[in-house]
Structure 1
Amino acid sequence: MPKSLFYAASCAVLLAGCQSMSADSPSMPADDPMTTAPPITRGFDASGLSQVMLSEMAGQRGDFRRAAEGYLAAADRYRSAELAERATLAARYTDDTGLLSSAAARWQQLAPRDSAPQKLLSGIAVDRGDWPAALRHRLELARSDEDAQLLELADLMVEARADPVPLIAQLRDFTASHPDHADAQMATARLEAANGQLDDARQRLATLTRHHADLPALWLTRSQIALEAGDYGQAAAAARRGSELAPDDSRFLLALAQAEIANGDIASAEPRIDQLLARYNDTPSLRIGFAQLYLDAGALEPARRLLLPLLDRDDTPPATYLVLGSIAETQGEIDNALLYYRQVPAGPGFLDSRALATRMLIASGRARDAQEFLQVEILRHPDQRTPLTQIGLQALDDAGQIPAADALLADALEQSPNDTDLLYTRAMREFDQGNVETMMTQMRDVIARDPDNAAALNALGYTLATTTDHYDEALDLIERAHALEPQSPAILDSLGWVHFKRGEPRKALGYLRRAYAGQPDQEVAAHLAEALVVLDQAAEARTLVQSAIATSDNHPDIDDLLIRYPQLSPQAEP
């Protein structure tokens, strides 16, 4: 998705006054989750009653994990949707995505006609980036004549650069049996266009127009697709038609302005932008979003003019300085850009601004200035020494200036020799440079200084598990890390992997499933897939591999897995 379209989408959300997919969000509710839980109407035996009572008391004490696990066990025992719902409500307070997913899935199984668990499962899948699962739950809602918000979901998928091929297949299967479902047809067209299947998308929307020409969302979709295809005249025409149908919907005014900006007609776009700002009380976030649209179209001065009034505010948004700095940098005004970047105060955007400034100076051949800039910033913000040092290390390493990066870290450690975060960073640099023994020695020093450093315990334990056969020591270290941070996906992955290396794949499986639920990246997927294939669950392992390949351009752990287990390749016969 082009950046200009991303910023336009952000502006559209603000203009619509909506929060996309908010009904699906698994985020924690504001009040006690049990106050809205359904009453329990089934009878219990003594053991079951005790279990439910203990869960109830655990929830009242704030021990929501124990409450959720107790309710879930009781739900399984009595096949009670009400208990599964209570388990889900309690699980939302635990920050354990795996537990929440399990509870919501059980609730859905026990109450298949209830839309609430489907919406929640869709939201969890969105948060995980599991787009096929999110769409599957949404399509179940559509089959029940619920508002499935498929077009909104498709927009999220495009923005996230999800692999459209399996998603299009799911939607086409649905539209084949539901040809009059306008939301599904528009979502399908949106993904087809994103996949380069413009003729299919246009034909689908043309057919839909014959039956739903008065549907504003149809014209907005047509405008978006035309814009992405570079057909700016058609994009503007569709936006005008939608505006006629929904004159109060500012998204059409935005779409028209966006088409004009993309077409280089800045003079026509500027009054529309001014109209939108007036309509929404000159909201700073909109100014910044519109400025970014100009900037992405190469219209630097209109962007700059939009942002300069924000400098007169007492509460200038940090993003203002970031975008003005970007404009100055694009114009080659490096010192002016540096002044803007340095004005971002401590808080949101602070580290981003320093990272941009550092990379800008290095790219301009001013690596020494970048080092001095960071040294001054560390003096001004001593509490940010570690992240500022890490910014410099990353930028210098990326530029191939390893000695300068080493010198920066050495200077930081000279100033703060007991900073365990910096010592941890030094150890991990040794690992990245292939010095595994040195890394392990230095990581042991970090642990000696800070025995409760979960990251160091996990890093050393995982390194032992993957580079040596010291599995008992590795397990001890990782279990200590797990006791400190029991919900960490990285630690759960390490714990599962060390059990696998010890020849305990069944014990490993549970940890790896929980790790993948919280962090579905290609490394965790490779570990989980290997455990599955060893346990004769190759079909699920192959699905995991396929998903990892589809969602990541770089997947070295999956590639290594396929060398050892070629039968898991998506091209292999099941």
Structure 2
Amino acid sequence: MKNAFAIVTVSGLLAGLLSGCAASPQQQSLAAGDEARFGQQQSAQQETEPELDEEELAAKQKADEEARLPKVELTPVMLEQLMKAEFAFRNGDWQGPYLTVYNLAQRTGDPRLARRAAEMAVAAKQADDTLAAVRLWYRLDPDSDEATQYFVGMAVTSDKISELEPIFEQRLREATPTRRGVLLFQVQQLLGRAKDKEAAIAMLERLIAPYENTMEARVVRAQIALVRDDKALARSEAQAALAIKPDAEIALLMLAQVTEDEAQVVALMQKFLKSYPKASDVRAAYARVLVNRKDYPAARREFELLVKAQPDNVAHLYALGILATQMNDALGAEQYFTRFVEVLGRNPDDERDPSRALLILSQLAEERNDLVGALQWLDKVPEGTDPQTRFNTQLRRVHLVGKGGDVNSARRLLAEIKTDDPARQAQLMAAEAQLLREANQLQEAYAVMEAATKRFPKNPDLLYDFALLAEKLGKVDVMEAQLREVMAQAPDNHHAYNALGYSLAERNVRLQEAYGLITKALDMAPEDPFIMDSMGWVHYRMGNLVEAEKFLRRAYGLRKDPEIAVHLGEVLWQKGDKSAAEKLWREASAKDPQNDTLRTTLARLRPAL
């Protein structure tokens, strides 16, 4: 019987509780051969019996199942009823065939018929009838781990979770001590899906009572206390769990979860890792805490230790790529993201989407002027990626082709992108204007953007881009009007305040107003290096060289951007440190020799580079 009607239960969780196997929802079905089994009752007897190979185990299971089946005579009447039910079911009717098979299961006591009735109800998407058939299947064959698995999976979200308590109690009682701890956590997670949360928690408390002196039971009690918002009790139970088993990572993580002081969390984790340096889950959590504290170098060291122990852990490789990017380590970021993509490529069953990493790798290749490599990374973005990522990939390809000098091909690629979404239509027009701008066709770009803002007047991003282009053409009145409209439409858009403030500072006009605008932007985004650059520049214009240097050094430390380097260099030049200024300008020239700010600054100051 090869029916592919899936009963979606609790994926690996339920399979772990009732079968010892971790199956995905797509893998769980009512079809013979697909069943996940419960580790053969997890009894002490299992530990003493010789281990069977897969074929022997399958044969033993089949024999056990057949031995449990009732001796039912297949009469001509019954055969006719079953055949009629099956033909009707295949012709699109479900209710009559379901009732026929269900009633036959009740009369004969044959669990196979109850299972078939359940398959019919699943195919018809009838949840209540499915549960009724699965309940009957389990009642007729309570020793079947498959029947138990599906019954638990469905009953846990029904209004009768009390039916599950005897099952859970038996499973816990018959489990070995080692296995029981895992089952306690799985029971807790299963009951977390129940509709009646209080009834589920009360049942959970009764189930764990006989094992309250185990580490796992204490952790479950801590989690129950946390659900009830009793953090003091949760902390006490987590500490008790650690006292029972000092090396238990889950107990330490539970204690960290209920510790509100982040500095205390850091101290807890550091102490634990000193005693148990191979505790990878705690180390990963510690690294994430360090990321939250913006201690990127320390977080990176922790993730590097994790990758040293687990070289193919894609989550840690991705984290290291992001951290390297944050730390302006382009080479490191490229190495980690490349490994991330390679490892995913070797594991086709891993469903993680590499698209974001591929887009970052494309950007990194572009930053070192490898446009061919940047396009090759885009070629690897999978077809099945989400629509927004696919759209972003298409726009990036357009940008790279245009940057390579083939503006006409880039515009043709842009014209091939079709969308009904107004926001994306606005992005397409902005992308076309950007192509023309980068090709130094500024008037054509201005015309495209002017048309775009008339078509989409309520799109702040479009208005912002139009403002920057207007400034490029010297239309400062248009720029200011557009930026003030952005502020009106999106008062929390710090880019608009920063752009107008910087423009005023750059033109050396209305400096106090410029300072106020940039201060407001910096209040909204205090870690933005470009706003720090603007603040440093307005201080420079106002003659505050010390403050200017402070902001610009901090900005350049966060992001090695050529324009920030040019500004910091000019401040140092005016302070008399000409060698440091020239060093910065050389760095900027190596990255972007055509940068407008760099060229005008060098032409004005005439350093001996």
TM-score normalized with structure 1 length:
0.44
In our comparison, the structure showing a higher alpha carbon Rg is 2
Task: Give the number of the structure with larger relative contact order, counting CA–CA contacts within 8 Å between residues 6 or more apart.
Answer: 1
TM-score normalized with structure 2 length:
0.42
